[in-house]
Amino acid sequence: MVKIDLTSNIQKQLANATDFATKRKLVKDYIMTELRGKYNAKDGVEIAIGTVSAKKYSNVMTDTKIKVAPHLAEAIQQSIFIGFGNERKNHEYIGKWAYYECDLDVGGKVYVGRLNIAIMNNEESMLYDINPIKEK
């Protein structure tokens, strides 16, 4: 389980932001400066967080998703593989999809997040989004 630290500096900045556009920019910038890299899921698969991850993750934001954002690397590391999908979703560079899940403790409420992992045509894996995030 990933325990979301709501007292960190980035969480304070997000809480003080007055609109979603500002929160979206904070999340995108944080992902690019602090989280960009490759992380191993529990099954050993290496999953990258990069430019596309930052753009797609910050595209549709909810309060819970905003709070989870600084912990994306931990979410990958704690995630468990649940299956593959073959839908292309209009992306020619993506060969298939893998789905992982992890539990997220956000302020004492437990959620399960489904990590959408794009498996590129070159076989590299990339975090695309966490959707849905549902309360358990």
Distance CA(4)–CA(74), nearest Å, equals 10
> Is the pLDDT reported for residue 81 higher than 80?
yes
Cβ–Cβ < 8 Å for 53, 34: no
For residue range 35-64, what is the model confidence (pLDDT) as tens digits? 999 999 999 999 999 999 999 998 888 999
Specify the DSSP element, H or E, that contains 136. Answer: none
Question: For residue 93, what pLDDT is reported?
Answer: 82
What is the arithmetic mean of pLDDT over 18-23? 94
Which pTM does this prediction carry?
0.94
Rounded Cα distance between 129 and 136, Å, is 19
Which residue, among 118, 131, 134, has the nearest Cα to 45 in the 3D structure? 118
